[in-house]
Structure 1
Amino acid sequence: MRDFIEQYLSTSERYYRSDAGPERMRAAAVEFQAGLRELMSRTVTGTDPSGYVAATVSLGGKLSRTYISPHAVRDLSAPELGEACRAAVAAARTTAAETFQAAVGEFPERLTDLDPAELVRRRKV
């Protein structure tokens, strides 16, 4: 994904002012959007420390599935079961954030260190 972001940025910078630029930028944007959508739909699973509850979330953080072991119902009180569910979802979301960060990497400096007023002056927005 990191390579894809760099490719998109170089394509958009290269074709910004050319005659073929808008069509190539649109194609690059569509491809970027599809790649991001695919990345965000990936799922990861996390469990609570006791292993009674497992939660699956997308890399976007959306909870998609929860598994509660039959032993959890027998062995845990209602507040303990609630805490186990919360811990499993938190573990899954932490893993999702780490996985997303590893796939995307740090945002390129040219995206984070730009002054919005300068972009408007250069008519890049």
Structure 2
Amino acid sequence: MKYCLLLCSIFLFLKVQAQEDTTGLDSTATIKSGLATYYHRKFEGRKTSSGVRYRKSRFTAAHRSLPFGTMVTVTNISNGKSVTVKINDRGPFTKKYIIDVSESAAKEIGIFGKGHSKVKISYDVES
């Protein structure tokens, strides 16, 4: 009985803690953080995994598992700048990075020329 009460109280504490972490967010919003990089210029005009051609001037990105067409907000943690990109490709193919953004998106959030930066990504999960 003691163990049951202890487990129940721990469960309730964790549930309350999780609710506090998502205050002000849509219940379906997902937030992850990690390193982001951007496409090299040599990919300009090449077809992406979704079949559309990569254009450095568009706000697009590659992600390993999100469905094509998902809109993702990428925020550079070091300066707070953010941009919304559309997933249209697969990658990055190294576990070190969580997202690969287009050149224009990289310039918008201030990572162009640096190679990579720590970012936070948020997106809505479809039910």
TM-based fold match above 0.5: no
TM-score range, shorter chain: under 0.3
Give the structure with the larger strand fraction. 2
Comparing both structures, which one devotes a greater share of its residues to helix? 1
TM-score, normalization: structure 1? 0.25
* Structure with more relative contact order (C-alpha pairs < 8 Å, separation 6 or more): 2
- Structure with larger Rg: 1
